Amino acid sequence: MSFKTYIDQLGREVVLPAMPKRIISLVPSITELVAYFEMDAEVVGITKFCIYPTSWFQSKERVGGTKNIDLEKVKSLNPDLIIGNKEENTKDDMEALMAFAPVWMSDVNSIKDANHLITCLAEIFNKEDKGQALIGDLNKYFLSHASEGAGKSVLYFIWHSPGFVAGKNTYIDSYLTSIGYQNCVSMDRYPEVTSLGFLEPEVVLLSSEPFPFNETHVPFYQELFPNAEIKLVDGERYSWYGVSTLRC
C-alpha cells in the first residue's frame, strides 16, 4: 500500500493511505461533504449528529456525539482516516484517537477556510474536479445572496440565558458578511452579549442550533431590542459549511 503526507488545517503533517478505505467523520457538515465526494463505500463511521445524508444516518455505524466520542467503537472500526474539527471535537478525544489512527483536523472560521477544506479533501479523495466544481457553485451562491442583508447591522444568537452571540473569527460571521449583513460584534468567537455594552442592531437572528430558539423566545428579544427585527433562522444554513450551504 502506498502512502502520502498531507497538511491538515492545524498545520499538522498527516500520513494517509494514497486512497483511504475506512473513513470516520466526526463533523456533521463534513460528513455531508464526504458524501458529496461519493465515498459511501469507504465511510465506516459517523456521529449521532451526522444526519445528512439520511441514508448514511440510517445505515452507518455511529461512534457517539461530536464531543463524547466512543473511542473503543472507533478503534474497533479500524479506520485509516479520521476527520475531526478543532471546534466541534474535544482536544482530549482527538489526542486519544491520534494514538491509534491517522487524524486529519479541520479548522473552519471563514468561507475561505471552508473552500480550503473542500480543496484538501478533494485531494485526499482524488476528486479534485468535483472539489473545484463545488467551490464554483458556492461562489455563485454567495454572489446571488450578496445583498440579502441589505447592509443592516445584526446580532446572531447561538444560546439563550446566558445569551451568547457569534463574533469575529467564526464561520457564522463570514457567512453573515457574505450575504450583506454587518455584524455588531467586534470581539472574537462567541462572547456573552452582556460583555459587549450597549448595542442597537437592526436585525436579531435567533438560531435553531445549538440552542433551539423558537417563537416563545421572540417576545423576550423584542423587548430587549425594541427597534430590531427579530427573526428565527435555520442554524444549519448559517453554520454548516461546504455542500451543506447549497442544501440550505
Could you tell me if 68 and 54 are in contact, meaning their C-beta atoms sit under 8 angstroms apart? no
| Residue 169 burial (CB count, 10 A) | 13
Same domain, yes or no: 196 and 135? no
Cell triple for residue 55? 441514508
In this structure, which amino acid lies at residue 163? G
* 248 residues of the chain, pLDDT tens digit each: 799 999 999 999 999 999 999 999 999 999 999 999 999 999 999 999 999 999 999 999 999 999 999 999 999 999 999 999 999 999 999 999 999 999 999 999 999 999 999 999 999 999 999 999 999 999 999 999 999 999 999 999 999 999 999 999 999 999 999 999 999 999 999 999 999 988 999 999 999 999 999 999 999 999 999 999 999 999 999 999 999 999 98
CATH number of residue 86's parent domain: 3.40.50.1980
Per-residue model confidence (pLDDT) at position 16:
95
Q: pTM for this one?
A: 0.95
* Rounded Cα gap, residues 59 and 49, in angstroms: 13
- 137's enclosing H/E stretch is helix 128-144
Asked, for residue 169, whether it belongs to a domain, the answer is yes
Is the CB of residue 236 less than 8 Å from the CB of residue 248?
yes
User: Is-contact 7 13, C-beta < 8 A?
Assistant: yes
Provide the strand spans (E) within the chain. 3-7, 13-17, 23-25, 43-46, 61-62, 64-65, 68-69, 81-85, 103-106, 153-159, 164-165, 182-183, 203-207, 229-233
Task: Please give the Cα distance from 37 to 177 (Å, whole number).
Answer: 28
Do both 86 and 122 map to the same domain? yes
Q: Which three cell numbers stand for residue 22?
A: 475506512
Judge whether 31 lies within some domain. Answer: yes
- Is there a single domain that holds both residue 121 and residue 241? no
Domain carrying residue 18: 3-140
104 and 18 in a common domain: yes
Q: Are residues 167 and 90 in the same domain?
A: no
Q: Which of 140, 171, 199 is the last residue of a domain?
A: 140
**Would you say 244 and 35 are in contact if contact means Cβ atoms under 8 Å apart?**
no
- Domain co-membership, 99 together with 197: no
In a 10 Å sphere around its CB, with 0-12 CB exposed, 13-18 middle and 19+ buried, how is residue 117 labelled?
A: buried
What is residue 55's predicted lDDT score, i.e. its pLDDT? 97
Give me the pLDDT at residue 129, please.
98
The count of domains in the chain is 2
148 falls within a domain? no
